[in-house]
Amino acid sequence: MPPITCLIVDDESLAQDLIENHLSKIPNMQVVGKFHTAVECIGFLASNHVDLLFLDVEMPDLTGIELLKALKNPPLTILITAYSEYALDSYEYNVVDYLLKPVRFDRFVKAIAKANNLLNVDTRSETSGTIEVAKSDNQDYIFVKSNYKAVKIPFSDIVYVESAQKYVKFHLANESVMSLMSLTSLEEVLPGNDFFRSQKSFIVNLNEIKEISGNQLLMSNGDKISMSKNSKPALLDRIDKSKLL
């Protein structure tokens, strides 16, 4: 198995050294570069593939969040910062994890496990061929490829679907299934009467919405999903036929 290539971007040399030291204790991890600015990172990624990016948030000239905005297809990213208030931004940009400085090794290992799981999903899906979504007018389910298997997912079991990088994550009542595909391609397959794209990163099952509070949806599994300002009127129009809201 080829090593997982890692890039460290942090304006503090001591912080870079700590991440590199943590990585040295984990098998199959290879640091291919270390940079002090986001601008240097952009130049490197323009001509080099990286599996995993360790990214500081607060940096001169260009922040880590601004870097993620600038990259068309960013690698899997773990944000590392001293400021907990950026946690919401990390959720918005689908990062793998969000670690607070100084990064403890036990917490670091958990973040690597998340990234490794996603990278394995990507690799297996790519080697098994193009994702196939099976559906016809009289079917109430889809088949998706995940971990070398064709997994049947009934539409009624889907609470919501989340997009992150190159894959989608189906959140079901009691489990989750990840598959390599785009949320846009999936949106074309899911029945329009029951599913709604609440924002660019989420499709929700209208039947699984328990509560609407402001721009947040409380789903049947207890998860809260944010809703874009522009999508809320369309959602209310879909679910409130009697115009009571």
pLDDT in tens, 68-92: 888 887 888 999 988 766 555 555 5
Residue for token digits 């773990």?
78
Lowest-confidence segment of 40-49, 116-125, 145-154, 223-232 by average pLDDT: 116-125
Which tokens sit at 169? 């994550």
pLDDT reading at 129 higher than 50: no
Q: Does pTM surpass 0.75?
A: no
**Which of 152, 188, 192 has its CA nearest to residue 170?**
152
CA distances from 39 to 69, 70, 71, 81, 105 (A): 13, 10, 11, 18, 28
* Average of per-residue pLDDT across 206-227: 93
* Average of per-residue pLDDT across 148-171: 86
Residue percentage of the chain with pLDDT more than 90: 40
pLDDT band at 245 (very low <50, low <70, confident <90, very high): low
pLDDT reading at 131 higher than 50: no
What the chain holds in terms of domains, given with CATH numbers, is 4-127 (3.40.50.2300), 141-239 (2.40.50.1020)
Residue percentage of the chain with pLDDT more than 70: 84
DSSP 95-146: -SEEEESSPPHHHHHHHHHHHHHHHHHHHHHHHT-S------TT-SEEEEEE
Cβ(20)–Cβ(6) below 8 Å? no
pLDDT reading at 125 higher than 70: no
pLDDT band at 186 (very low <50, low <70, confident <90, very high): confident
CA distances from 226 to 17, 229, 243 (A): 36, 9, 22
Quote the pLDDT of residue 109.
Answer: 93
Q: What is the pLDDT of residues 8-60, one digit of tens each?
A: 999 999 999 999 999 999 999 999 999 999 999 999 998 998 999 999 988 88
Quote the pLDDT of residue 88.
Answer: 52
pLDDT band at 196 (very low <50, low <70, confident <90, very high): very high
**Which of 131, 169, 167, 175 has its CA nearest to residue 149?**
131
pLDDT band at 147 (very low <50, low <70, confident <90, very high): low
CA distance 90 to 167: 17
Which tokens sit at 191? 């029945």
For residue 124, give every residue at least 6 positions away whose Cβ sits within 8 Å of its Cβ, in sequence order, or none. 147, 148
Lowest-confidence segment of 79-88, 115-124, 181-190, 212-221 by average pLDDT: 115-124
